[in-house]
């Protein structure tokens, strides 16, 4: 998440996640960190915020936190197409993205049904 914020800007959380009270908590925590700050500071602030959340709140932050999603480093060309096809073919696939919050990311997420 910190890498994405640094690459995509401080509004990355708001552009990427569905609004919810846990997301508002993360945005408020990030807002309390005055730029520029190194990645380590941002990571500590976000981690502390998430450690104060319940498991239910964490599911509203990211499916990654419950093992229901993963990312693969994006690559271009035919290799990237092969990776996306393989991700789509995985059992239980619900969502495969090539962009998240305006950034190029290969994201797999389990079906939630």
Which residue from 54, 47, 37 is spatially nearest to 1, judged by alpha carbons? 47
Strands 69-72 and 103-110: antiparallel
* Statement: residue 36 has pLDDT above 90: no
Task: Give the pLDDT confidence of 39-57 residue by residue, as tens digits.
Answer: 999 999 999 999 999 988 9
* Statement: residue 100 has pLDDT above 80: yes
Contacts of 21 (CB under 8 A, 6+ apart): 57, 60
Distance CA 25, CA 60 (A): 11
Cα(first)–Cα(last) distance of the chain, in Å?
26
Task: Give the pLDDT confidence of 79-97 residue by residue, as tens digits.
Answer: 999 999 999 999 999 999 9
Radius of gyration of the chain (CA): 15
pLDDT of 111 reads 93
């Amino acid at each position: 998440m910190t890498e994405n914020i640094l690459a995509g800007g401080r509004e990355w959380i708001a552009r990427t996640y569905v609004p919810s009270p846990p997301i508002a908590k993360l945005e408020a925590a990030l807002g309390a960190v005055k730029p520029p700050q190194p990645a380590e500071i941002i990571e500590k602030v976000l981690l502390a915020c998430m450690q104060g959340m319940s498991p239910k709140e964490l599911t509203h932050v990211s499916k990654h936190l419950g093992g229901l999603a993963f990312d693969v480093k994006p690559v271009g060309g035919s290799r990237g197409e092969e990776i996306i096809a393989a991700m789509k073919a995985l059992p239980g696939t619900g969502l495969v993205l090539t962009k998240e919050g305006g950034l190029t990311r290969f994201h797999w997420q389990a079906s939630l049904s």
